[in-house]
Chains A and B, each alone.
Chain A
Amino acid sequence: MSDSFEPQIIAFCCKYCAYAAADLAGSMRLSYPSNVKITQVPCTGRVDIVHLLRAFENGADGVYVAGCMEGDCHFVSGNLKARKRVEYVKKTLAELGIEPERVEMYNLSSAMGPRFAEIANEMTARIKKLGPSPLNNKKAA
């Protein structure tokens, strides 16, 4: 894949942890790839399978959900539900012949600004390695 490939990555971030961590990363002047577009959700439990699928359908090369640390969800178990939904989408992608690594679940706390930047870097590197989503082949050609 050409080096010029800049993936579109959608991150669903929980208001209490991951989004706050993104804020902190900003305050700390930590840079992370601009490929990551953040969607704030009140809790990752709000993120449904269909939201993840529609992100891919509409052109995302990678999608991740970032919620609170397990056991620390503001709404008790939203992040655990999100993890299971991410697993479901991984299976769906695999069934359709798309790399399941394009979707991932992460957990971090609001104090983990550097970890937020690390995750954004990690996911961007992973998707760059995988190349454009097979749904975007035409666009890449």
Chain B
Amino acid sequence: MIVADRKSLNEILDMVKNYNKILVVGCKGCVTVCNVGGLKEVQVLAASLKIGRKKEERPLEVDEKILERQCDPEYIEQLKDVVDNYDAVVSMACGVGPQFLSEAYPNQKFFPAVNTTFYGGAVSHGIWEERCAGCGSCIIHYFDGLCPIARCSKSLLNGTCGGSDRGKCEISKDVDCIWDKIVKKKIAQGRLDDLLPITPAKDWRTARDGGPRKARREELIQNG
């Protein structure tokens, strides 16, 4: 899933400081699963913003809404009857949400309530870790399912580097050295020789380096 972190209340309060009636819109997709922008988080943010503004004696009217997803036009469309009733709209979805909303409703002002951080999963309750960098050409099969692009601080393809220290990366004791894990897994499976060939430099054109990306599936496209 896409993992996000909520922005600080002060940052969000600052975004909406000139408005008196706003809508907070959550998303039932990834940000619900990572407990950042689901129904509960929408309620908590709305209550917090109202408290913050009530304290300033400038009450803020906040309505709450949640969409199935904010990355599909058919759900975005569900706001069409209400979106103009507000001075501004705060989206709790990943960065896709406020952009889809902005594109659909060009007269309204949209603000992001979260920082979109990475593609990852919950390793335990309340702890998420990055697993994928969305590089556009997956190579994890060469490394026993462990991605050196997303999980090595330098995205090295021929590790480890000199910064690997007892299984940890030199950038932080909280970061595992993924190359240490790859090598250990290869040894455990008796396939260390797999790592003898030099992996050539990666073609990054499929990643962000090739500019904004687009996927097109002819068999799914309707009406030409």
Taken residue by residue from 84 to 105, chain A's Cβ proximity to chain B (1 for < 8 Å, 0 otherwise) reads as 0000000011011110000000
On A, residues with C-beta under 8 Å from B are 48-50, 53-54, 56-57, 92-93, 95-98, 134-135, 137-138
- Restricting to B48-97, which residues have a CB under 8 Å from any CB of A? 48, 50-52, 54-55, 57
How far, in Å, is A12 (CB) from chain B's closest CB? Answer: 16
- A50 in contact with B8 (CB, 8 Å): no
Q: Is B43 an interface residue (CB 8 A)?
A: yes
Asked whether A57 and B51 contact (CB < 8 A) given A137-B57, A138-B57, the answer is: yes
Q: A48-B40, A50-B44, A50-B47 are in contact. Are A57 and B54 (CB under 8 A)?
A: yes
Contacts of A96 in B (CB 8 A): 9, 48, 51-52, 55
CA–CA, A96 and B14, complex, Å: 12
- Inter-chain residue pair count (beta carbon < 8 A): 38
- Assess whether A98 is in contact with B51, with CB atoms less than 8 Å apart: yes
Complex Cα spacing A90 to B55, Å: 16
Taking CB atoms, residues of chain B closer than 8 Å to A49 are 40, 44
Asked if B48 contacts A92 (CB within 8 A), the reply is yes
Q: Is the CB of B47 within 8 A of A95?
A: no
CB-CB < 8 A to B57: which residues of A? 137-138
Residue of B nearest to A48 (CB): B40
